[in-house]
């Protein structure tokens, strides 16, 4: 079975400061990893994804994440946050077809990023 | 706009009732997923359809059922509703499994 743990439920940060949202996963098979963002009263929007290849993945809105297989982590980073980045962030895991998985996403509990002026 | 549409946006009903949530996937996407988001359970996978056939089941109650029609839209049926079924229900679609999933805006269900 696969699982995702987001290590922080809330992360307060000042505007223009760097931020890291931590995500660890557990899986007995190879993984696909995703970060989604949910703004208030909206659906989930994909920030970035790791399927294979380079372990450093760049996404939208200046976010990036690094896949670390030995640490089973996929932490999300942004060098300078804006007020508009205030939202809920979800890390999710899936697996390639053929490894017993049909593509369903297993989500972490979410991290609330609060950007203060 | 993800291209995935869900109706209705809000639904208020009473315990014991039955409701149907509708989802239209992005054009060309064959796979539809349903997820439930609640404060206590977080985001949970319910069920997946691919080109009209059920492919995977997650934490879906027996009171809940779903189907995908020939035009690829999907419906999630919730019956004998309980207070605890109040949640945000998301539909997502992808070209096939393993691809990026695009989420709809969700249906907020309130059971009184």
pLDDT > 90? residue B65:
yes
* Chains A & B: contacts with CB separation below 8 Å: 64
Q: What percent of chain A is modeled with pLDDT above 90?
A: 78
CA distance A71 to chain B (A): 23
CA gap B1, B20 in Å, rounded: 23
For B104, the closest of A43, A46, A90 (CB atoms) is A43
- Are A93 and A33 spatial neighbours (Cβ–Cβ below 8 Å)? yes
CA proximity to B101, closest of B34, B51, B46, B6: B34
State pLDDT tens for residues B21-60: 999 999 999 999 999 999 889 999 999 999 999 988 998 9
- Are B98 and B110 spatial neighbours (Cβ–Cβ below 8 Å)? no
Cα atoms found within 13 Å of the Cα of residue B98, Cβ hemisphere only: 11
Mean pLDDT lowest among A57-61, B13-17, B43-47, B98-102: B98-102
Average pLDDT over residues B70-91: 97
Q: What is the pLDDT of residue A98?
A: 66
Cβ of A45 within 8 Å of Cβ of B103? The answer is: yes
CA gap A92, A49 in Å, rounded: 9
- In this prediction, residue B98 has a pLDDT band, given cuts at 50, 70 and 90, of low
Which chain A residues contact residue B1 at CB under 8 A? none
- Sorted by sequence, the CB contacts under 8 Å of residue A82 that are 6+ apart come out as A15, A16, A115
């Amino acid at each position: 079975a696969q699982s995702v743990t987001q290590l922080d439920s809330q992360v307060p940060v000042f505007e223009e400061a760097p931020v890291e949202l931590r995500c660890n996963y557990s899986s007995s098979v190879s993984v696909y990893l995703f970060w989604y963002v949910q703004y208030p009263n909206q659906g989930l929007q994909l920030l970035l994804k790791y399927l294979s290849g380079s372990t450093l993945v760049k996404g939208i809105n200046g976010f990036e994440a690094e896949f670390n297989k030995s640490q089973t982590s996929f932490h999300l980073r942004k060098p300078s946050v804006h007020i508009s980045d205030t939202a809920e962030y979800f890390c999710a895991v899936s697996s390639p077809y053929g490894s017993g998985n049909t593509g369903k996403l297993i989500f972490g509990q979410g991290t609330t990023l609060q950007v203060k002026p | 706009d993800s291209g995935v549409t869900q109706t209705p946006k809000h639904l208020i009903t009473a315990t014991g009732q039955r409701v149907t949530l509708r989802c239209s996937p992005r054009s060309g996407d064959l796979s539809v997923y349903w997820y439930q988001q609640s404060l206590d359970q977080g985001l949970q996978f319910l069920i997946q359809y691919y080109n009209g056939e059920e492919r995977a089941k997650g934490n879906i109650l027996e009171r809940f059922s779903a189907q995908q029609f020939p035009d690829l839209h999907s419906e999630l049926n919730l019956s004998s509703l309980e207070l605890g079924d109040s949640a945000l229900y998301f539909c997502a679609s992808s070209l096939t499994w393993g691809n990026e999933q695009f989420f709809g805006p969700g249906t907020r269900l309130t059971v009184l």
